Copies of this chain bind each other. A is one copy, B any other.
Amino acid sequence: LSPARSKDGASRGYIVPIGGAEEKVKDSTILSRFTALCGGRQARIAIISTASEIPETGRQYETVFHGLTADQVWILPFRSRAECEASQEIDKLMQATGVFFTGGNQLRLSTTLGGTAAARTLRRLNADGVHIAGTSAGGAFLPEHMIAGGEEGPTPRSDMVTLAPGLGLTNRIVVDQHFRQRDRLGRLLTALAYNPFSIGLGLDEDTAAFIAPDDTLEVLGSGSMTIVDPQDLEFSSLDSARKGEPVCLIGIRLHVLVGGASFNFRTRQARAGRTPPEKS
């Protein structure tokens, strides 16, 4: 799944995009599970708050992860490209068992971290077993192809989405967040129609995809995740559609998954989580 190469025998870390606005107080299923993955009471979590221009954003997550009994939590603000090259910041990053990207603007992430030592270190850490999560803009930034912006609406239309290179943990997924809340099916379909190679993950708020090292994914949270699988696409008119025109797409496969459901990237099979008990 990941283009980075693992050390011999090492299993890569989880990749965890979150749809934004995840529950932080009462029923913090997603953040609890992430903390447990990173070692629970031994977890050392680095928070990267670059996407946000509000200083409180990082501190809010610091409080949450402390409350979830992580052993160490620290904020790496990475406000400039120079900070992303500073060896003391990279050293701090390398202590983490898990890295968490806050929300904000994903172009702040790609323009600040892109091509720096911090980005190279993050890809290497993930290949070597460190888990990396991101919420909202932070989730969009994780893969090789990132949705940088776009328009609302359910119908794919030419030029309705802007793609940019992301962090590059994997090139097999494209993430869209606040999916139901901001009516983003059209722009996710358009993003995939450009090249039907990746699989689209449309994440509602308070919903996460936990992508395991064995290339399976489990859904957690209170919303749903829409999987758009274009592998069997028979026809696309994207190459000939004029600006703003709707795009014809024939043969898209779509799954709507809720908490507990799973998806296998190798077989491209989805499974509902809770199978009803057989009648006897």
Interface pair B234/A194, CB less than 8 Å apart: no
Contact (A234, B82) CB under 8 Å given A111-B194, A164-B194: yes
Q: Chain A at the B interface: mostly helix, strand, loop or mixed?
A: loop
Residues of B within 8 A of A168 (CB): 171, 197
Interface pair B197/A171, CB less than 8 Å apart: no
A 207-238 binary contact with B (CB < 8 Å = 1; else 0): 00000000000000000000000110111101
* Closest chain B residue to A50, Cβ basis: B239
Interface pair B171/A144, CB less than 8 Å apart: yes
Rounded to whole Å, the gap between the CB of A246 and the closest CB of chain B is 15
Q: Does A198 contact B (CB under 8 A)?
A: yes
Q: When the two chains form the complex, which single residue of B81, B107, B193, B196 contacts A234, counting CB atoms closer than 8 Å?
A: B81
Q: When the two chains form the complex, which single residue of B105, B144, B230 contacts A115, counting CB atoms closer than 8 Å?
A: B230
Give complex CA distance A163, B171 in Å: 15
Residues of B within 8 A of A195 (CB): 110-111, 114-115, 146, 164-166
Residues of B within 8 A of A105 (CB): 239
Q: Does A131 contact B (CB under 8 A)?
A: no
Interface pair B193/A111, CB less than 8 Å apart: yes
Number of residues from A at the complex interface, CB < 8 A: 40
A 99-143 binary contact with B (CB < 8 Å = 1; else 0): 000000101101110110001000000000000000000000000
Give complex CA distance A166, B171 in Å: 11
Q: Does A148 contact B (CB under 8 A)?
A: yes
Q: Does A183 contact B (CB under 8 A)?
A: no
Rounded to whole Å, the gap between the CB of A166 and the closest CB of chain B is 7
Contact (A165, B194) CB under 8 Å given A115-B231, A236-B111, A238-B107: yes
Interface pair B165/A114, CB less than 8 Å apart: no
Q: Does A145 contact B (CB under 8 A)?
A: yes
Give complex CA distance A233, B114 in Å: 10
Interface pair B165/A198, CB less than 8 Å apart: yes
Contact (A196, B114) CB under 8 Å given A82-B234, A108-B239: yes
A 9-38 binary contact with B (CB < 8 Å = 1; else 0): 000000000000000000000000000000
Residues of B within 8 A of A80 (CB): 234-235
Q: What 3 A-B pairs are tightest by C-beta distance, nearest first?
A: A114-B195, A164-B194, A107-B239
Given A81-B233, A111-B194, A165-B195, output 14 extra A-B contacts at Cβ < 8 Å. Answer: A5-B5, A80-B235, A81-B196, A81-B235, A108-B239, A110-B194, A111-B193, A111-B196, A114-B196, A115-B197, A148-B194, A162-B162, A164-B194, A165-B197
